[in-house]
Amino acid sequence: MIVLKLTLAALFGYLIGGINPSYIVGRLRGFDIRQKGSGNAGASNAVIVMGKVVGISSALLDILKAAGVVWLAPVIFRGTPMVAEVAGVSCIFGHVFPVYMRFRGGKGLACLGGVLLAVDFRLLLILLAIEILLILLFDYICVCPLTASVIIPFLYGILGDGGFGFLLNASGGWWGAGIIAIGCILVFCKHIGNLRRIKNGTELHLSYLWKKDKDEELARVQENMKK
């Protein structure tokens, strides 16, 4: 019975995760966001293609859908161990490989943030403090998913009920951390291309968002990508 409940929770998380705000807004405007900008159906590309308001709104919706899945799963499937973690990671997979979009979705960072928010907002605050410092040092947004993917499983295991019992909604301790690590590995792998772009000089700096000559900067990056 537990296996059946976990399977249903995974399916629930996956199907909700596949609902992509950036893609939907792009379609409403008459285009496929995956054919513009970085080619990613996520909030970061939505900022580049459709502006900060749409991008930030998309990120918030991605966070909320993942958090909602993690909050609802234990309510729907009561008494099932690690159901929150399974549903949350499945939501990330649904966002990255959505059946509605022929399995070409986003990169899962905002959904990962939503999972952390639902588990315990204090865990998310700890991570945000670390990531803000790294962004200020390197001026690349991609440092967030790459470092967070490594840090999160350890924080989860140490601070969860398998460690100090710090986290409010953690259910699996180190077993739960192992499940969360699967989602983290996926997010990390989806951002490896960003490291190559940094090396090639084709990755946009975060400060790009506040530049007046955005078109010129974007043209420079796109020109480097052709080399």
CA 65/CA 61 separation, integer angstroms: 6
Entry pTM: 0.84
Identify the CA nearest to 44 among candidates 116, 129, 138, 140: 140
Evaluate whether 44 touches 140 at the Cβ level (below 8 Å).
no
Q: Please report where in the chains the tokens 């490594």 appear, as a residue.
A: 150
Q: Helices (DSSP H) in 160-213: which residue ranges?
A: 173-190, 192-200
Structural domain boundaries, residue 176 = 2-222
Identify the CA nearest to 43 among candidates 63, 58, 25, 26: 58
Q: Report DSSP state, residue 40.
A: -
Q: Which pLDDT does position 218 carry in this prediction?
A: 54
Please calculate the CA angle 130-143-178 and round it to the nearest 5 degrees.
Answer: 75
The 10s digit of each residue's pLDDT in 161-215 is 544 455 555 555 778 889 999 999 999 999 888 777 777 766 666 665 555 555 5
DSSP 3-state of 165: coil
In a domain, 227, yes or no: no
The number of C-alpha atoms within 13 Å of 97 and in the hemisphere containing its C-beta is: 9
In a domain, 78, yes or no: yes
Q: Which pLDDT does position 227 carry in this prediction?
A: 44
Q: How many domains does the chain have?
A: 1
